[in-house]
Amino acid sequence: MATSNATKYCPAMCDNWICWPSTKPDHNVTMPCPKLAGTLENAVAYRHCTSEGRWETKNTTNGTRVDYTHYEACIMLELQELAEMCNQFGNDTCLKIANTTRIIEMVGLSFSFMSLLISLYVFFSYRILKNNRTRIHKNLFVATLLQVDFRLIKYIDQHLTEENKFLLKDYYLYEICTTLMEYAKTAMFMWMFIEGLYLHNVITVAVFREHLYINIYVYAGWIIPAIMTAIWLGVMIWKVVETTWTYYYFLPYYWILEGPRFFLIIVNLLFLLNIIRVLIAKLRETRSSELEQVRKAVRAAIFLLPLMGIAHILFLLDYRVKRSWVFALWSYTTYFLNTFQGFFVAVLYCFLNGEVQLAIKNSFYLQMSLRNYDYAPCRNVTSISSGSKDANDGGQSRKSSGCTQCWKKTPHSPEDNAVDICDNGRRHTTVLPMVETTPMINNHYDRCHMADAQASWEQTDLSPTGTNEPK
């Protein structure tokens, strides 16, 4: 009889993760969940032994029946829903969408990485670009570049073979990389908020002392994200186990970071609407050069701020759909906008920036003029007479503005001084002593080609230091 009862026990066996002991008929046996990516802490899995002394089975996709283990309580609910959706589409279709999305991500991150590096090189190379507005741009570029770097590190590690992986093998290294990536992402949104705040203050505040606020912006742009990330990290270390760090963005604690980011997006959009309203009113009244520069910056913000906001809001939408093409459209659009953000930032704030283009052109023209004095494009030049005074102008000096080619006079004697009117370290302005240079200009008129010069005579004084101060 004992032998008969023993034959009814479900036999001991092992599945892919857990070994199960023999179990009485019509009983469940529980075991702690395996420590795998996406499993929950203190959860248990179980198996059911039927009254016939056989393990519970379940049909597979190809129609065969296999022993079934209930791991539902172990796996995060979001992962279960994602797996169920992929079962509806077909695993092959879901895998194809995932692979295409990863290709889009790698291409977008690579473009962002290269364009941000080039932009930072440009901004740090030209002294003419060193102002408060470009200082904010540079900080935004650095934050975006850091976020791109850490994402690339994580993605590259995922594609390496098991023996070559370095992040997923080391729990603490993975935590550090993830924390730094989230810090850089939060800093990126903070600096986008500062971009909007700076433009808003320039447009709307009557007397905006930007030199007093710029240091506050710098501290806030890096310290506030650090505080937010530290709070999130503390909660994660306290509440979360190793196995759930892989899918940390599914946890409710992630809203410690996502909530403030979403708030910054909404406030930035409100700033942008008010900036557009005030700017339109001011442009109708007057058109100053400073206002035109702000208008161009606002035009870049009009494209960039909503773009970054839309990309982030798409992540918060429910991706669980019933049709594969809808899921593919959501996945491709979301990750395209998200990974190409660095590229968009570089294009709008650097490559299409008029100040940057002018600085590069001037540098190119200067290099060409140094190599070949006979060739240089038409440049705006201001010449000021200092050696003679016309009786008709009351003894005042005169200033003439026009368009000329760059040229250089080589000295032929010790008494003859070399004269170079190509920039001389200034922007479109060169001071020429007219008594000494007028004969030389006449002799070299065919080389200089004074084209379309419209004289604009203004009364000026020459200070003892050699600088001209308009009266």
Contact 366, 423 (CB under 8 A): yes
Q: C-alpha distances in angstroms, 377 versus 196, 230, 404, 422?
A: 37, 55, 8, 11
Which tens digits make up the pLDDT trace of 287-304?
666 666 666 666 766 776
User: Mean pLDDT in the chain?
Assistant: 75
Which tens digits make up the pLDDT trace of 385-395?
444 444 444 44
For 18-25, what is the mean pLDDT?
89
- Phi and psi angles of residue 177, each rounded to the nearest 5 degrees, phi first: -65, -45
Residue 330 host element (H or E):
helix 324-339
Q: Is the pLDDT reported for residue 124 higher than 70?
A: yes
Number of neighbouring beta carbons within 10 Å of residue 218: 15
Give dist(CA 185, CA 146) in Å, integer: 8
Residues 6+ apart with CB under 8 A from 9: 22, 23, 24, 25, 49, 53
Which tens digits make up the pLDDT trace of 213-263?
888 899 999 999 999 999 999 998 887 766 678 888 888 889 999 999 989
For 182-195, what is the mean pLDDT?
93
Q: Is the pLDDT reported for residue 326 higher than 70?
A: yes
The per-residue pLDDT for 368 is 83
User: Residues 104, 107, 113, 119: is their CA dihedral positive or negative?
Assistant: negative
Residues of the chain above pLDDT 70, percent? 68
Pick the CATH number of 90-359 from 1.20.1070.10, 3.40.50.2300, 3.30.465.10, 1.20.120.1770: 1.20.1070.10
The SS3 assignment for 23 reads: strand
The per-residue pLDDT for 422 is 44
The per-residue pLDDT for 181 is 95
DSSP-assigned states of every residue in 177-232: HHHHHHHHHHHHHHHHHHHHHHHHHHHH-SS--HHHHHHHHHHHHHHHHHHHHHHH
Give dist(CA 468, CA 216) in Å, integer: 36
pTM: 0.72
Confidence grade of residue 431 (pLDDT, cut at 50, 70, 90): very low
Residue 164 host element (H or E):
none
The per-residue pLDDT for 318 is 64
Contact 140, 345 (CB under 8 A): yes
Any idea where the domains of the chain sit in the sequence?
A: 2-75, 90-359, 373-470
Q: Considering only the top CATH level, what class is 2-75? A: few secondary structures
Nearest to 196 by CA among 263, 244, 251: 263
Q: Which range among 107-116, 162-171, 211-220, 420-429 shows the weakest confidence by mean pLDDT?
A: 420-429
The per-residue pLDDT for 76 is 85
Residues of the chain above pLDDT 90, percent? 24
The per-residue pLDDT for 365 is 86
Which tens digits make up the pLDDT trace of 342-372?
999 899 889 988 888 888 888 888 888 877 6
At residue 412's C-alpha, the angle toward residues 406 and 413, to 5°, is: 135
Domains 2-75 and 90-359 share a fold: no
The two structure tokens encoding residue 106: 């790698």
Residues facing residue 10 across a β-bridge: 23
**Rg, Å, the chain Cα set:** 34
The per-residue pLDDT for 469 is 38
For 39-64, what is the mean pLDDT?
82
